[in-house]
């Protein structure tokens, strides 16, 4: 595996290539862009259905899954296209940590392999009164 490649993502790409080689049906989820996000921001996932004809009422659902296998968020779009992209907003309340993302189709029902998603800690701005007074002297109390 190359440097900086998450083991789950590397395994997912290997499974995708093997599935394509044997010509079976597969729902393939490509690398997330970006793969590290802050709570409240979005990522985009591209997908491809290999040897699958999706029904007119198909819905693609991106699921964000925690380390215990629980789905913590879902994003969906209706589409019968065999390939495309789906944007998903990470909930603003989602704790920082490592998650996986998978894609599910409804017609016919398929589930993709997973891609890694890292949710970063929210940045926190810190100010000290001493610095504020130095740059804005009018904040000093005068008697």
What CATH number does the domain containing 49 carry?
2.60.40.1930
Q: Is residue 11 part of a domain?
A: yes
Amino acid 1: pLDDT: 43
What HEC string does the chain produce?
CCCCCCHHHHHHHHHHHHHHHHCCCEEEECCCECCEECCCCEEEEEEEEECCCCCCCCEEEEEEECCCCCEEEEEEEECCCCEEEEEEECCCCCCCEEEEEEEEEECCEEECCCEEEEECCCCCCCCCHHHHHHHCHHHCCCC
Amino acid 2: pLDDT: 45
* Cα 85 to Cα 70: distance, rounded to the nearest angstrom: 23
Q: Which domain holds residue 100?
A: 7-139
Is 72 within 8 Å of 92 (Cβ atoms)? Answer: no
- pTM, two decimal places: 0.72
Walking along the chain (143 residues) 10 residues at a time, the average pLDDT comes out as 51 52 81 95 95 94 96 93 94 96 96 96 70 57 56
Residues 6+ apart with CB under 8 A from 116: 6, 8, 9, 32, 35, 98, 99, 100, 101
Neighbours of 100 (CB within 10 A): 19
Q: Is residue 131 part of a domain?
A: yes
Q: Is residue 85 part of a domain?
A: yes
Q: Is residue 1 part of a domain?
A: no
The tokens of 13 are what?
């790409």
Amino acid 124: pLDDT: 75
Q: Is residue 130 part of a domain?
A: yes
Q: Is residue 58 part of a domain?
A: yes
Give the count of domains, the chain.
Answer: 1
Q: Is residue 2 part of a domain?
A: no
């Amino acid at each position: 595996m190359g440097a900086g490649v998450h083991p789950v993502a590397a395994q997912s790409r290997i499974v995708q290539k093997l599935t394509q080689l044997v010509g079976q049906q597969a729902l393939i989820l490509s690398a997330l862009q970006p793969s590290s996000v802050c709570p409240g921001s979005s990522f985009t996932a591209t997908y491809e259905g290999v040897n699958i004809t999706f029904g007119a009422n198909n819905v693609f659902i991106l699921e964000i899954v925690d380390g215990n296998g629980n789905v913590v968020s879902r994003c969906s779009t209706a589409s019968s296209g065999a390939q495309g992209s789906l944007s998903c907003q990470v909930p603003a309340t989602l704790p920082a940590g490592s998650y996986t993302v998978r894609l599910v189709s409804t017609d016919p029902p398929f589930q993709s392999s997973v891609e890694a998603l890292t949710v970063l800690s929210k940045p926190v701005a810190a100010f000290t009164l001493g610095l504020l007074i130095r740059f804005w002297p009018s904040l000093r109390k005068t008697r």
